[in-house]
Amino acid sequence: MLLTKPQLSSSLLASTPLFTPASTPNHAKPIVASHAPGRRLRISATSTAVSPGATALSRVDVLSEALPFIQRFKGKTVVVKYGGAAMKSPELQSSVIRDLVLLSCVGLRPVLVHGGGPEINSWLLRVGVEPQFRNGLRVTDALTMEVVEMVLVGKVNKNLVSLINLAGGTAVGLCGKDARLITARPSPNAAALGFVGEVARVDASVLHPIIASGHIPVIATVAADETGQAYNINADTAAGEIAAAVGAEKLLLLTDVSGILADRNDPGSLVKEIDIAGVRQMVSGGQVAGGMIPKVECCVRALAQGVHTASIIDGRVPHSLLLEILTDEGTGTMITG
């Protein structure tokens, strides 16, 4: 069955309820999902001739109907992993930045964790280094690690901070090294991958006053081990561990896919909501494979550590963050504990 996703324009939120009955496994709900209590946002399609008054009224209706969602999440921390197409496209990047600032303005406490793969590749080529990958992971020798740190921490991070500030928010740029926010350890495949690390622990004490002050932490996933050696940490993994450490209400992973599919060959088989048991069943059955496995594992680990919900959402959809948080249709798959 083809799943129609709601779109959100620059002037208004629009979503169409999807209530087609379907026979589904016990743990998965491919079509019907309720991400939050309250009414669904509904805006009727209009003709091409729309009066200014009608447009203004539609905007007011949207704000009014978003109230239950804003009330539910006010004061709650949401951790967003930012990367993929949403980082490469200026239009999508602007959408994400505006969404973060809007969420902050209505009382949520967003934390942004980012990667920067394409930017790293570009700068490696500039210094004459060909990017290398093994099983989807970047091979990171000493020179590559130096470039990774310069690009992620010095360029990508500060650019995101600047964009958030220009949009009216107040962002604070950090990396895993700052205040020992993330302590790294070598990957089990360190001999083949070099300075690719894992999260040994997270000390979120530096984040609490920033979040409580209404600022938006922007975190680059470069961290050091006990000896001070720098490591490149997978941004999905880091976001999940940070979400657990700050007691986040939601973890949201922006990706280049629509979410978890019941049938990997059928884009219309999006699973809207699934629990941990259902996810494990899909992994063991081969329905979840490849690059989706580490994302799912990251979400499951975050849920096991107290995060309430984790969502894998389509970052290619404009304003996907608002659709996921301020409507109950969402733009991907929500995993629950």
pLDDT of 233-269, one tens digit each? Answer: 999 999 999 999 999 999 999 998 889 999 888 888 9
CATH number of 75-336: 3.40.1160.10
**Distance (Å, whole) CA 102 – CA 105:** 5
Kindly report the number of other CB atoms within 10 A of residue 262's CB atom. 18
Q: Are 79 and 100 in contact (CB under 8 A)?
A: no
- Weakest-pLDDT range from 33-47, 121-135, 199-213, 303-317: 33-47
Per-residue pLDDT for 65 more than 60? yes
**Residue with tokens 């491919």, as numbered in its chain:** 30
Percent of the chain past pLDDT 90, that is, above it, reads 63
pLDDT of 68-115, one tens digit each? Answer: 999 999 999 999 999 887 888 888 899 999 999 999 999 999 999 999
The pTM (predicted TM-score) of the whole model is 0.83
pLDDT at position 55, please?
80
**Distance (Å, whole) CA 11 – CA 197:** 42
DSSP state of 120: H
Q: SS3 for 270?
A: strand
Residue closest to 72 by CA, chosen among 299, 333, 325, 332: 325
Q: When comparing pLDDT for 128 and 62, which is higher?
A: 128
**Distance (Å, whole) CA 105 – CA 103:** 5
Query: Which residues fall within 8 angstroms of residue 128, CB to CB, at 6 or more apart?
Result: none
Per-residue pLDDT for 214 more than 60? yes
Q: Are 139 and 187 in contact (CB under 8 A)?
A: no
* CA dihedral sign, ordered 335, 185, 222, 233: negative
Domain ranges of the chain: 75-336
Q: Are 3 and 31 in contact (CB under 8 A)?
A: yes
DSSP state of 179: G
pLDDT band with cut points at 50, 70 and 90 for residue 50: low
Element (H, E) at 210: helix 207-212
> What are the tokens at 154?
């010095």
- Weakest-pLDDT range from 134-138, 148-152, 230-234, 301-305: 134-138
